[in-house]
Amino acid sequence: MEADARFKFLLESCDVRGQLVHLDQCWIDAKARTTYPANVSTLLGEAFAATALMAGTIKFDGKLTLQVRGSGDVYLLVVQITNNGELRGLARWNQEPESTVPAAAFGADARITITIETDQFAEPYQGIVPLQGSTLADAITHYFKVSEQLQTQVYFAVSDSSVSGMLLQALPPSERTVGDDDAWARATALADTLTQQELLDESVETLLHRLYHEEEVRLFESSTLAFSCSCSRERTDGMLIGLGEKEVLDIVKEQGEVSISCEFCDAHYQYDAVDVAALFKGYVGSSGNDIDTTH
Ligand SMILES: [Zn+2]
């Protein structure tokens, strides 16, 4: 399967649109800074696939963030994608959950939040639903049902080295041309026969042929996905300015410097007393270690 890409397709004879995403280098880069226990890694991989698929279903100019918070063994899962297909994400856990069933891993109180921040709108869009179902895929399916009110089904497969996801969504009534009541059931029943290994290993052409050779299928151009972090020295400057000079100088006094690490990509931003003085005088010092690329 083509590396780090999202494919869109249309099952014309079923009035169903679909997407396939495949992440490999992106997935390896995303996990490079943290050793995740197997079940946490699976949940994070599924969230990467879910986020990439979700971003493909809507037009937005900015960032889409999927977040799961709960009080269970895994208490935070966050994956973000830009409209350019740049992904980053992480998970935080107290101990490895015994299973990847959402309620068992995240706690019965867990919620899934989707936030879309764009430059045009001051207020970001936010959708929140309880985390339901026996898999994260079920939970995402439920989210679509509630938020878009279109029948949607997602499938995920995660290994150490790659992540794949597939989404099927019934076209809105106004876009349907076939009017076949059985079409949605047929499209999903065929997709249900797909094994996780096939989803991970096979090319989009092979998968679509294997599932839908009796349907009319259109495959559209793919778009590229990649791991990328939007942190920067400038953003860190802004955060420190927001804290206020006194607060920042107190940290320097106590710790000798201000040291901030990006949790997504492990970049380190350090400020000594001179950097802090320059920052609050309106200068941005260049003496700090910018991005540590040795990790
Ligand atoms: Zn970063």
- Ligand 1 centroid from CA 202, angstroms: 32
d(CA 159, CA 3): 14
- Ligand 1 centroid from CA 183, angstroms: 44
The number of domains in the chain is 2
DSSP three-state, residue 23: strand
- Tens place of pLDDT for every residue, the chain, 295 residues? 568 999 999 999 999 999 999 999 999 999 998 999 999 999 999 999 999 999 999 988 999 999 999 999 999 999 999 999 999 999 999 999 999 999 999 999 999 999 999 876 668 889 998 898 999 999 999 998 888 888 999 999 999 999 999 999 999 989 999 888 899 999 999 999 999 999 999 999 999 999 999 999 999 989 999 999 989 999 999 999 999 999 999 999 999 999 999 888 888 999 999 999 889 886 454 444 444 433 3
Q: Which of 197, 227, 257 is the last residue of a domain?
A: 227
- Ligand 1 centroid from CA 140, angstroms: 26
Residues 219 and 250 occupy one common structural domain? no
Q: Which domain holds residue 99?
A: 5-227
Q: What is the CATH number of the domain that holds 64?
A: 3.55.30.10
Among positive and negative, which fits the CA dihedral 163, 29, 204, 188? positive
Residues 203 and 251 occupy one common structural domain? no
- Ligand 1 centroid from CA 78, angstroms: 14
- Ligand 1 centroid from CA 263, angstroms: 7
169 and 18 Cβ atoms separated by less than 8 Å = yes
Q: Residue 121: its pLDDT value, please?
A: 61
Q: Is residue 287 in a domain?
A: no
Q: Is residue 88 in a domain?
A: yes
> Among all chains, which residue has been given the structure tokens 């999903």?
188
Q: Is residue 291 in a domain?
A: no
Q: Is residue 159 in a domain?
A: yes
- Ligand 1 centroid from CA 165, angstroms: 25
Residues 115 and 215 occupy one common structural domain? yes
DSSP three-state, residue 40: helix
- Ligand 1 centroid from CA 260, angstroms: 10
- Ligand 1 centroid from CA 174, angstroms: 42
Strands 258-261 and 223-224, bridge-based pairing: unpaired
Q: Is residue 264 in a domain?
A: yes
